[in-house]
Amino acid sequence: MATFGNDPVLKADPSDARASNIRSAFQLVFPSGQMSRAEMGRRMGLSRMAIGKVVSEMLESHLLRELGMDERSGRGKRSVMLAVDPDGWRVVSLDLTARYMIRGALVDMCGHIVSRAEIPCEGMGNVRLKALDELCDRLLGESDQPILGLGVAVPGIVNSEGTVIRSVNLKWTNLALKEHIEKRLHVPAVICNDVNMGLLGECTFGRCSADSMFIKIDQGVGAAVCVDGRIVEGNAYSSGEIGHVVVDPKGKKCVCGKRGCLETVLSAPVLKKRIAKEPESRTAILAEAGQLLGKTLAMSVSLLDLSNISVSGPAEIVGDAFIGSMREELEADTVVDYRAPVALHRCEQGDDLVLLGQAIAVINGLVDSIHWKNVGGDEMSNPSTGSANAAGQRNMPNKKGD
């Protein structure tokens, strides 16, 4: 499961205290918060000496930075405030969901895009590893900071080992993508499902909470669910694959072989085609689609007691008619006197949402893997790659080819 967000009180894991403490301390100020050592130690349940040691290591490894004294007035000693160091490291993030291009970005440690690159392709089913490698090389070569890791968001089912079990759109089956990237580039890689990364981005920068659902309407229909701050992946890593849930047994045949799957009536191409044929019925078509999605999700919302739903999709589809009708259906099917209506909204984070979510997944997954060894000078090492300097000097542009 992937995680996000800040717990009010975070405890160290005795089995790996160092890694747990670094993750906890980082999350308390990520992406743009500020906190003193004393407050950080209080929230993590650590002594003054213990939190001092954790912070000292994170400052030395450029995960945190000191901002100066706090601005409070009155009596009492003022504290030095800590924040994420945005420029200590860079993350390479790739998004494979666009139909005719592969999109990539260099992202800082606060989740801000600092550089972009893209490579055109002939369609999603024609994405080749050679093009992926080329884009990775280009982005790695643009970084003046060491690379923490590289992430790829894939439209399909991805397991915990970074293998793409199946991507219908990309025509990939059992592709060991993480292994391919790490062997070729010697950079730690994190491979994730694209809709899960949309949810992670929305929870970090948007309006979703720790108990929420993210719906993506594009070439198909996908969902991601977050419960108690954890993204649910499922036993077969296919949680949220709602596009092939049958909503009309007598409906059109789907690419999966069944009839009347949700994406045969709710995907963006299907709705656009219907509207093009009947432009005068646009509002009615979208309202009908929103109502159907609301009815389809009502049981899941009640079962998991979700607080928020964010819907991402083309603006000409996911608008007032769609969202309004969906809200009415959800409220009619789920509202009871002891439960407030689920908060429903259109995702407003733009086309970079998946890229940013994937970058956050890399940061969350690798932030505790940095080690500094002061033996004959500072040396960075990353256990994800099993070699010294793997996440640092090895990926500095001026070191490539040495």
Structural Rg of the chain based on CA atoms? 23
DSSP designation for 211: S
Q: What is the pLDDT of residue 76?
A: 61
Checking DSSP bridges between strand 189-193 and strand 147-154, what pairing results, if any? parallel
Continuous segment of H or E residues that includes residue 28: helix 17-29
Q: What is the pLDDT of residue 74?
A: 61
Alpha helix locations (H) across 87-193?
Answer: 129-142, 177-185
3-state secondary structure of 11: coil
Strands (E), 25-171: 35-36, 64-69, 80-84, 90-95, 101-107, 113-120, 147-154, 157-158, 163-167
207 CB contacts (<8 Å, ≥6 apart)? 308, 310, 343, 345
Q: What is the pLDDT of residue 388?
A: 30
Q: What is the pLDDT of residue 339?
A: 82
Name the pTM for this structure: 0.86
Q: Which long-range contacts (CB under 8 A, 24 or more apart) does 277-282 make?
A: 282/321
Q: What is the pLDDT of residue 99?
A: 83
Q: Which residue matches tokens 């720790």?
A: 210
Q: What is the pLDDT of residue 73?
A: 62
Q: What is the pLDDT along the chain (402 residues), one digit of tens a residue?
A: 444 444 434 444 444 788 999 999 999 999 999 999 999 999 999 999 999 999 999 999 999 999 987 766 666 667 899 999 999 999 999 999 988 899 999 999 999 999 999 999 876 667 889 999 999 999 999 999 999 999 999 999 999 999 999 998 888 999 999 999 999 999 999 999 999 999 999 999 999 999 999 999 998 899 999 999 999 999 999 999 899 899 999 999 988 889 999 999 999 999 999 999 999 999 999 999 999 999 999 999 999 999 999 999 999 999 999 999 999 999 999 988 788 889 999 999 899 999 999 999 999 999 998 864 333 334 444 434 333 333 333 332 232 333
